[in-house]
Amino acid sequence: AVPSVPMPFAQEAGLPSGGMHLFESDIHSPGQPGSPNMLAFHPPAPLEPCPCSHLLRPFWLMRCLYQTMAHPRGGYLSTKLFVPREVWKVKGVKLKAVDEKIANCDLLTAALGKLARVDMIDADAVLEEMQGLEVVLDQVQASLSKKLGSDVGVNGVGALFKDAPVQSGESNTGSNDTTGTRTSGGDKSKSYLASWRRLRSKNSGTGLTN
């Protein structure tokens, strides 16, 4: 179940909007990392457990990021990283490759829009649009990698996923969960779609011979 996401209401809740409260630590549980202190005034939401499936992890990360922006206190990105909401209000921050990011978001939005309009009963049409989306995803990753380097893709955020349990069908090569990059191997580990491609290769022929 998707946890409820609070909307911004810092002013209505009477929370401070600036100052030294950024360094308050009483809102965190002293004995359980990644958990709020429920005795504190208006504590942040607890960290949502990281899902096992690599396909679900980007959506999990987006929900965690949304918590940091929407909750008056901020939100957790990992058991060791808490992001106060005020971080997003800092002025004078320089962002890299903004135009390229916007252009690639437009490409993704257009590809997802085409997929949303497909008749889901028509398997051939769905397959065609999914393959088109796959091409766009790889194109976007390649384009942004030229501008941003190793910051693009799942390789740079492996630390956020290390607490996720490993599925029974995956290899467990260590305590840190980096299976998203290790089990794929080679160039496929650099693709957002490595998990999707593994899943598709296992199930693509199922039921076609009946």
pLDDT in tens, 1-26: 445 555 544 444 444 455 545 556 66
Domain ranges of the chain: 10-89, 98-180
Distance CA 106, CA 102 (A): 6
If one compares 188 and 149, the residue with the highest pLDDT of the two is 149
Distance CA 61, CA 180 (A): 14
Residue 6, CB half-sphere, CA atoms under 13 Å: how many?
19
Q: Does residue 113 register a pLDDT over 90? A: yes
Distance CA 131, CA 136 (A): 9
User: Tell me, what's the pLDDT at 105?
Assistant: 92
Distance CA 20, CA 42 (A): 17
pLDDT band at residue 104 under the 50/70/90 scheme: very high
pLDDT band at residue 149 under the 50/70/90 scheme: confident
The pTM is what?
Answer: 0.52
